[in-house]
Every structure is written in structure tokens, then in C-alpha cells.
Structure 1
Amino acid sequence: MRGRIEDGQPVTLGPVDPAEVDTGDVVLVRWKGGVLLHLVKQATKDRVLIGNNVGRINGWALREAVVGRLVKVHPRGS
């Protein structure tokens, strides 16, 4: 998420209804045995397309894999 959130930068996440996630949201999603904080590039009824802020696309994830939404990005050192 370079340019929007730098590696190691603290963030606050909040709960989210996966059905309400939309394009442009930054979400925490279960992905391939781990979790990623990524940008929603596209959304359909059942899935979200996740990627980063500099054009990379990771792929489609089921909405039920979305476990939180970005609430705030904190300055480093806070």
C-alpha cells in the first residue's frame, strides 16, 4: 500500500459487514493462509478484487473473507 500506508505504519481497523464493502475501501482480508491489508479495486455481489495502491492486483476474494476495514492511518512513531 505504498503511498497510502507504508510498511510497518500503525493503523486502526474496525468491524465491517462484508456486504457493505465497496470499491476504494481498504480492508483486512483472509488470503492464502494469512491476512492482507489491501485496497478493494472492484466489488461484485459475492467477491472483491484486491490489490495495492500502485497498480498490482492480487486477485478475487470472497466477501466472507473480509474481516475488517481501515478506520485510520496513524503517523509513524505514534
Structure 2
Amino acid sequence: MTPRIRSGQLCTVEPVDPATVEVGDIVLCKVRGAEYLHLVKAIRDGRFQIANNHGHVNGWISPAAIFGKLARVDP
């Protein structure tokens, strides 16, 4: 499976209110001290399940761990 975003591509991330994040959105989030772009797979009890594009679920994060939403990827 090809990644949606390849290493080195320029990504534009916009600030987001976590209350507006939906399943399928790609968000910039902090996980164990590092920042990543992850796909939102589920939302439950005010928390977000994040995953990569290869089907691996990384776990659950709080709204405070979300910094923005992917707006654009340049080639």
C-alpha cells in the first residue's frame, strides 16, 4: 500500500478545534513527545483513535494532543 504522504512532501496544516475533527481526517498530533500526521479512525468518549495508512492502529489520544488538521499536500 502506498502512503498518502511521502517523506519530504510539503504539508500544510491548519489549526483545528478538536470538536470539529471527524473520522477520516488527518491530524497533526503529539504521541510520546513526537509530532506525527495520523489518520483518525474512530472517535469515542471525547478521544481519538489514530492510525497510519497501512492499517496499523497506534492508539487513543486526547483532544489536547491534536494541534492541527492537514489542509494540503504539495507534490
TM-score, normalised via structure 2 length = 0.91
Deviation at 1:44, TM superposition (A): 2.0
Task: Please give the alpha-carbon distance, in whole angstroms, between the structure 2 residues aligned to 1:44 and 1:21.
Answer: 12
Q: Match for residue 43 of structure 2?
A: 43
Q: Match for residue 26 of structure 1?
A: 26
Q: Which runs of 5+ in 2 are unaligned?
A: none
Question: In terms of mean alpha carbon deviation, does 2-11 or 25-34 score higher?
Answer: 2-11
Question: What is the letter of the counterpart of residue 34 of structure 2?
Answer: G
Deviation at 1:45, TM superposition (A): 3.8
Pick closer, same or farther for the CA change 1:43–1:62 going to 2, 3 Å. same
Deviation at 1:3, TM superposition (A): 2.5
Task: Please give the alpha-carbon distance, in whole angstroms, between the structure 2 residues aligned to 1:59 and 1:11.
Answer: 23
Task: Please give the alpha-carbon distance, in whole angstroms, between the structure 2 residues aligned to 1:24 and 1:68.
Answer: 14
Q: Which runs of 5+ in 1 are unaligned?
A: none
Task: Please give the alpha-carbon distance, in whole angstroms, between the structure 2 residues aligned to 1:44 and 1:24.
Answer: 14
Q: Residues 22-61 of structure 1: CA distance to partner in whole angstroms, max 9, x if unpaired?
A: 1000000111011110100111241100011110111000
Number of residue-to-residue matches in the alignment:
74
Question: What is the letter of the counterpart of residue 46 of structure 2?
Answer: D
Question: What is the letter of the counterpart of residue 33 of structure 1?
Answer: G
Deviation at 1:8, TM superposition (A): 1.8
TM-score, normalised via structure 1 length = 0.88
